A = this chain, B = another copy of it.
Amino acid sequence: MFSCFYKEESMKQVESFGMMMMPQDDDGFTTTSTTSGLPSLVHPHGSSLHPCFEEVYEEEDGTASALRIHSQAEKRRRERINARLSTLRRMIPDSNKMDKASLLGKVIEQVKDLKRKAVDIGKLQTIPSETNEVIVESKGDDKPIMYIKASICCDDRPDLLADLIQAFQGLRVRAVKADMISLGGRVRNVFVLCKKDSQGNVCMNSLKDSIKEVLARIASSDVVSGKRQRLMQSQYTNISF
């Protein structure tokens, strides 16, 4: 049945060395091998040793030594995997009483869910980034009604929206849709603009360029700069818009 026994106690320090080599996400709890820390197969009767142990204990031949090292290494590998499994189990709610396969199934679900949420949000370009960005693109260039998608990402400030509104008025465009999110002092505003008066026959590209230029100036404008006009403030920043 068993081809080899070896003295388990002689490798304790090797075991702990193996634990110390594990990456940072380890934890002492490595699925606690069955009942005691030692395999019950090897030590079925307390501390008494199997008859064939004496020979191995005194001096083991090459084959026995190789097998011993091999089974040690395999034990370390199992512990490495089970430690990760335990870490995952701690991250998944209500997974304490699950078997390994079910746990991994939950992990798959979780990752899929979170990934889907992340792309849903990322698709809308809604998270403010750390760098200032101005993106202007138009849709339906050949249609009678033309829309321009203008996105600005910059530091948040109280009168940013007032500046934007003033800019749009000056450019004679109106926002038919506005998505905004501020996060950690940064803000990203995405507007869908269309021309205010249909009679004007301004070139689309030059209008886009104008928008881009004005938005870029707003994005990089400094709060301490006293140059900005505050004409709109009395009317709009009463309500901070």
Contacts and interface: CB of A to CB of B under 8 A. Distances in A.
Interface string A85-111: 101100100000000110011011011
B88 A239 contact: no
Interface in A196-227: 196
A69 B77 CA distance: 27
A155 B110 CA distance: 28
Given A80-B101, A117-B118, A121-B121, A181 B178 contact: no
A111 B126 contact: no
Contacts of A231: none
Stoichiometry, as copies per complex, reads 2
A183 B122 CA distance: 11
Interface of A: 1, 3, 23, 25, 77, 80-81, 84-85, 87-88, 91, 100-101, 104-105, 107-108, 110-112, 114-115, 117-118, 120-121, 124, 126-127, 158, 161, 165, 168-169, 174-184, 196, 238-241
